C-alpha cells in the first residue's frame, strides 16, 4: 500500500512536470526556429551577389537560424532581355524601394546610397537608431567623424543609418619630381589655388617630354578637362538649371570663374587635355607597357587625384618594378584633396553607398538591428579592413597596406560635399539631364583653343541649354540626341 501511494505520487508529479518541460522546450525551440530577414537593395542582378559576398553570407553563417532574403527594388538583369525602347523606360529605384518599405510584405533592412537614404529619412520611413545604440551600448565613437557628422546632418542630429565602408580620394604626388624641380611638397588642407600654383611651378618640358603639374585622374586617355569640372565645383553647390529644370542658370560670375580656371590649366599645358591624350607615346618604347595609360607611374604628372584603390596599383607596380624596362618606382605620398575657401574642409571625393537602415514597418526589427549592428561593428571591420578598394569607417582598422607608408589620414580628414535633393530628384525624373553637359563639350574645347572667351561659351551654353530642357523634360530621347549631336 505504501509503495502504491508513492507510485501514485510520482506519477502525479510527472504529470504536473511534463507540461512545464514541454512549455520550456517549446519556448527554446521557438527561439531557435528559423527566421527570415528581408533586406532591400536598390539594384538586383550582380549587386545581389555582391551584397551576399560582402555582408550577408558571414552573418548567416554566424546566425544559423536566420535566413537572408535579398529584395531588389530594380532588377537590372531584366534590361539584358529588353529592347531599346523598354530600356529607356527604366523605373526610378528610389520610388521602387519605397514600395518595398510600405507594401504588404515590407523589407526589414535597406542598404541605400546617400541620396536615397536622405530621401527616406526625410519621409520618416526609417527607424531612429539612437535608442538602440544607447540600449546596447553600441560604440560609435570609433567611426570617423566625417561619416557620422554627415549621417547626423541628414537626420537633423539623429542617427537613422550606419555605413561600414566608404570610398574617398586624395591628392597623390610624386616626391621625386618635386625634389628635382626644387618645388615645395604639397601639404594637407591646401586650397585649390595653392595646389594649382604648385602645379604650375613643377610642370616642365615640351611636347612628348612634357610633365604636367596636375591631373584630375591618372589616366592618359581619360583626362578630358570638361568632365572633371563637376568634381572640382561640387563643394560650391552651384546649379546649372533651376529647381524645375526649365531654365539654365549657368551664365554667372561663379561658373565663369570655375570654367575659366580649368580651361586655363589645360590651355597652358599644366594639366592634360584632349589634345594631349597620346603625349609621351609608349613608355615601353613601342612595346606594350602597363604604364602606358598611367600618367602618375610613367612620371607624366606630378600630382593626380585618385581614390584609395589606386594605392593597390602603386603597390603592384613597386612589387613588379624589376619586370618593367627602364622603370624606377617614384617616391610618393598623399595629402588631402584641395578645397575651396568658400567651402573649407569639404571634398567632392568621399562617398558612402552602403548605408544600412531599418524600415519603420520592419516585420523582424530585432534581427534587423542585430544585422546592422554586426556589419557596422568591430569584428566585421577587422575582417573587411584588408580590402583594396574601400576603407572601413572605423578608425582603429584604417591602416596603410602592409609594407607601405603613406598619409592614410588624408583619405578621411575632409567632409563630403552635401548633396542637393532637388537636383537628385530631377536627375531621377528626367533621364537625359546629363546631356546638358554633352551639349557644351565642343564649345569648351574652343575655349581651350582660344577661339571663345569663357563668358561667350557660357552665353552660348545658356541658349543651347534652354532649347534642350523642354525636350529633356518630355523624355524625348530622339529629339535630345538630334539637338546635341545633329543628324
Domain residue ranges in the chain: 34-167+350-398, 169-216+253-347
φ, ψ of residue 12 to 5 degrees: the values are: -65, -40
- Give the pLDDT of residue 325: 84
The model's pLDDT over 233-268, given as tens digits with 9 standing for 90+, comes to 999 999 999 999 999 999 999 999 999 999 999 999
Are 368 and 35 in contact by the 8 Å Cβ rule? The answer is no
CA distance 254 to 448: 18
Are 419 and 114 in contact by the 8 Å Cβ rule? The answer is yes
Give alpha helix (H) positions in 52-164. Answer: 57-62, 84-87, 93-102, 114-122, 130-136, 145-154
Cβ neighbours around 190 below 10 Å, total: 18
User: Looking at the predicted structure, is the pLDDT value of residue 85 above 60?
Assistant: no
| CATH code given to domain 34-167+350-398 | 3.40.190.10
Query: Could you tell me the pTM of the whole model?
Result: 0.87
The model's pLDDT over 221-235, given as tens digits with 9 standing for 90+, comes to 655 678 888 889 999
The model's pLDDT over 181-191, given as tens digits with 9 standing for 90+, comes to 999 999 999 99
Unique residue bearing C-alpha cell 529644370: 245
CA distance 72 to 40: 6
Q: Which helix (H) or strand (E) holds 125?
A: none
| CATH code given to domain 169-216+253-347 | 3.40.190.10
- Give the pLDDT of residue 77: 65
- Give the pLDDT of residue 418: 84
CA distance 367 to 100: 18
Are 212 and 271 in contact by the 8 Å Cβ rule? The answer is yes
The residues pairing with 391 across neighbouring beta strands, listed in sequence order, are 166
CA distance 161 to 390: 19
In this structure, the strands spanning 169-174 and 332-335 are antiparallel
The model's pLDDT over 290-313, given as tens digits with 9 standing for 90+, comes to 788 899 999 999 999 999 999 999
More confident residue, 162 or 52: 162
CA distance 207 to 327: 21
Question: Does 169-216+253-347 match 34-167+350-398 at the fold level?
Answer: yes
Nearest CA to 68 out of 355, 354, 357, 368 is that of 368
- Give the pLDDT of residue 80: 57
- Give the pLDDT of residue 225: 77
- Give the pLDDT of residue 222: 54
User: Looking at the predicted structure, is the pLDDT value of residue 357 above 60?
Assistant: yes
CA distance 148 to 162: 8
Are 334 and 407 in contact by the 8 Å Cβ rule? The answer is yes
C-alpha cell of residue 485? 549631336
Nearest CA to 353 out of 168, 177, 218 is that of 168
CA distance 367 to 293: 48
- Give the pLDDT of residue 156: 92
In this structure, the strands spanning 35-43 and 66-74 are parallel
User: Looking at the predicted structure, is the pLDDT value of residue 12 above 50?
Assistant: no
Are 302 and 320 in contact by the 8 Å Cβ rule? The answer is no
Give the pLDDT band (50/70/90) at residue 108. very high
pLDDT, average across residues 164-192? 96
CA distance 54 to 193: 40
User: Looking at the predicted structure, is the pLDDT value of residue 28 above 90?
Assistant: no
CA distances 151 to 114, 140, 358, 393, Å, are 9, 12, 14, 12
The residues pairing with 110 across neighbouring beta strands, listed in sequence order, are 40, 357
Unique residue bearing C-alpha cell 551664365: 251
- Give the pLDDT of residue 288: 63
Average pLDDT, the chain: 86
Q: Which helix (H) or strand (E) holds 67?
A: strand 66-74
C-alpha cell of residue 433? 539631364
Q: What is the DSSP string of 198-244?
A: HHHHH-B--GGG-BBS-BSSSBTTS--TGGGHHHHHGGG---SB-TT
The model's pLDDT over 395-430, given as tens digits with 9 standing for 90+, comes to 999 999 877 899 999 999 999 988 888 888 888 888
Q: Is 357 left (phi over 0), alpha (psi -120 to 50) or beta?
A: beta
C-alpha cell of residue 135? 540600449
Cβ neighbours around 29 below 10 Å, total: 9
- Give the pLDDT of residue 287: 57
pLDDT, average across residues 28-40? 76
Amino acid at each position: 500500500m505504501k509503495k502504491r501511494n508513492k507510485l501514485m505520487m510520482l506519477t502525479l508529479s510527472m504529470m504536473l512536470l511534463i507540461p512545464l518541460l514541454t512549455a520550456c522546450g517549446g519556448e527554446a525551440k521557438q527561439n531557435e526556429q528559423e527566421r527570415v530577414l528581408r533586406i532591400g537593395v536598390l539594384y538586383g542582378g550582380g549587386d545581389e551577389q555582391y551584397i551576399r559576398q560582402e555582408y550577408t553570407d558571414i552573418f548567416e553563417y554566424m546566425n544559423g537560424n536566420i535566413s537572408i532574403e535579398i529584395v531588389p527594388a530594380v532588377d537590372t538583369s531584366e534590361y539584358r532581355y529588353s529592347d531599346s525602347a523598354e530600356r529607356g523606360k527604366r523605373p526610378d529605384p528610389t520610388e521602387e524601394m519605397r514600395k518595398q518599405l510600405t507594401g504588404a510584405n515590407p523589407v526589414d533592412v535597406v542598404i541605400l546610397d546617400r541620396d536615397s537614404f536622405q530621401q527616406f529619412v526625410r519621409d520618416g520611413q526609417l527607424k531612429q537608431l539612437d535608442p538602440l545604440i544607447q540600449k546596447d551600448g553600441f560604440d560609435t565613437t570609433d567611426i570617423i567623424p566625417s561619416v557620422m557628422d554627415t549621417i547626423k546632418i541628414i537626420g537633423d542630429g539623429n542617427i537613422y543609418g550606419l555605413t561600414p565602408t566608404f570610398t574617398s580620394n586624395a591628392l597623390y604626388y610624386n616626391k621625386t619630381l618635386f625634389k628635382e624641380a626644387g618645388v615645395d611638397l604639397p601639404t594637407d588642407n591646401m586650397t585649390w589655388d595653392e595646389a594649382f600654383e604648385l602645379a604650375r611651378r613643377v610642370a616642365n618640358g615640351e611636347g612628348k617630354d612634357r610633365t604636367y603639374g596636375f591631373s584630375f585622374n591618372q589616366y592618359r586617355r581619360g583626362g578630358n578637362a570638361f568632365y572633371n569640372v563637376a568634381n572640382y565645383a561640387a563643394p560650391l553647390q552651384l546649379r546649372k538649371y533651376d529647381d524645375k529644370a526649365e531654365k539654365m542658370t549657368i551664365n554667372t560670375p561663379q561658373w565663369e570663374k570655375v570654367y575659366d580656371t580649368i580651361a586655363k590649366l589645360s590651355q597652358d599645358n599644366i594639366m592634360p587635355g584632349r589634345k594631349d591624350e597620346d603625349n609621351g607615346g609608349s613608355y615601353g618604347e613601342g612595346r606594350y607597357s602597363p604604364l602606358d595609360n598611367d600618367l602618375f607611374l610613367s612620371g607624366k604628372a606630378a600630382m593626380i587625384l585618385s581614390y584609395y584603390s589606386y594605392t593597390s596599383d602603386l603597390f603592384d607596380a613597386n612589387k613588379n618594378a624589376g619586370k618593367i624596362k627602364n622603370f624606377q618606382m617614384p617616391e610618393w605620398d598623399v595629402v588631402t584633396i584641395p578645397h575651396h575657401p568658400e567651402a573649407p574642409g569639404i571634398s567632392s571625393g568621399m562617398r558612402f553607398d552602403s548605408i544600412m537602415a531599418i524600415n519603420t514597418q520592419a516585420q523582424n526589427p530585432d534581427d534587423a538591428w542585430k544585422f546592422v549592428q554586426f556589419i557596422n561593428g568591430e569584428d566585421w571591420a577587422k575582417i573587411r579592413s584588408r580590402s583594396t578598394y574601400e576603407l572601413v569607417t572605423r578608425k582603429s582598422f584604417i591602416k596603410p597596406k602592409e609594407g607601405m607608408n603613406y598619409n592614410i589620414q588624408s583619405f578621411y580628414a575632409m567632409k563630403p560635399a552635401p548633396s542637393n535633393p532637388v537636383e537628385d530628384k530631377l536627375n531621377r525624373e528626367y533621364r537625359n539631364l546629363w546631356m546638358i553637359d554633352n551639349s557644351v563639350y565642343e564649345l569648351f574645347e574652343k575655349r581651350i583653343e582660344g577661339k571663345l572667351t569663357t563668358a561667350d561659351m557660357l552665353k552660348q551654353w545658356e541658349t543651347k541649354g534652354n532649347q534642350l530642357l523642354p525636350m529633356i523634360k518630355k523624355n524625348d530621347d530622339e529629339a535630345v540626341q538630334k539637338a546635341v549631336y545633329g543628324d
